[in-house]
């Protein structure tokens, strides 16, 4: 049985207790997008600004469990200052980590959700740095949606920004 320490790593609890980039940017000019987890009622509001190629600023609002909030906090710290293509790569890699079958993780025991064949192949977890602390979430399949909530919300925001940017 997966232990709580697999889920609640110290860095996760730290980001939960002291979330980074907390708040909301004025929108407009910032892009603003809301994400919901209908399972548990978690809500996340991601506001971000794009200057040139880069995500120049990002803030996280809303409320939810330690996993959704810390994951969004870690995400905000990781993407700030990166170019949009880099952020998209990171989202891709992070979601890849969340879709690994748990039996491939060290110390895995019980059955988990099968990896979605539509999801990307094994990601390079090394490049995720601090975000790798969230890989234990995969052992708790119900919580994967918590961990990916902020990321899916940001991805949706980038799509909207793209659509808005390509408009006249």
Partner 1 sequence: MANVTGPAEALDVTLLRKDFPLLSREVGGHPIVYLDSAASAQRPRQVLDAMREYDETTHANVHRGVYRIAEEATRRFEAAREAVGRFIGAPTPSREVLFSKNATEGLNLVARTWGRTHLGPGDAILLTEMEHHANIVPWQMLAEERGFTIRWIPVTDDGLLDLDQLDRLVDGVKLVGITCMSNVLGTLNPVSEIARVAHAAGAVVVADGAQSVPHLPTDVSTLGCDFLAFSAHKMLGPTGIGVLWGKEELLEPLPPFLGGGEMILDVRKDGFTPNDLPWRFEAGTPPITEAIGLGAAVDYLEGVGMEAVRSHEIALTAYAMETLRERFGDDLRLFGPPDPSDRGGVLSFAFRDVHPHDLSQILDQYGVCIRAGHHCAKPLMRRFGVNATARASVALYNDESDVDALADALAAAGAFFG
Binding piece for partner 1, criterion CB under 8 A, among 73-81, 113-121, 140-148, 155-163: 140-148
Positions in 8-47 near partner 1 (CB under 8 A): 8, 13, 39-43
Task: For residues 91 and 111, give the distance between their C-alpha atoms in angstroms, rounded to a whole number.
Answer: 25
Kindly state the smallest distance separating residue 142's Cβ from partner 1, in Å. 8
63 forms part of the interface with partner 1 (CB under 8 A): yes
By C-beta, is 68 or 76 nearer to partner 1?
A: 68
In whole angstroms, the minimum distance from the beta carbon of 10 to partner 1 comes to 11
Interface with partner 1 includes 136 (CB under 8 A)?
A: no
Q: Bridge partners of 62? A: 44
Q: Does 78 bind partner 1 (CB under 8 A)?
A: no
């Amino acid at each position: 049985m997966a232990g709580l320490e697999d889920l609640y790593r110290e860095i996760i609890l730290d980001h939960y207790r002291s979330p980074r980039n907390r708040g909301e940017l004025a929108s407009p000019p910032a892009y603003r997008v809301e994400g919901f987890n209908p399972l548990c009622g978690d809500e996340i509001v991601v506001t971000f600004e794009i200057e040139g190629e880069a995500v120049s600023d990002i803030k996280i609002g809303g409320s939810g469990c330690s996993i959704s909030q810390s994951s969004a906090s870690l995400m905000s710290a990781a993407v700030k200052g990166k170019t949009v293509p880099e952020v998209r790569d990171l989202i891709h890699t992070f979601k890849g980590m969340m879709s690994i079958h748990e039996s491939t993780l060290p110390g895995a025991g019980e059955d988990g959700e099968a990896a979605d064949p539509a999801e990307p192949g094994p990601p390079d977890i090394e490049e995720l740095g601090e975000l790798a602390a969230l890989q234990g979430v995969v052992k708790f399949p119900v919580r994967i949606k918590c961990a990916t909530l902020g990321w899916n919300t940001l991805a949706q925001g980038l799509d909207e920004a793209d659509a808005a940017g390509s408009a006249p």
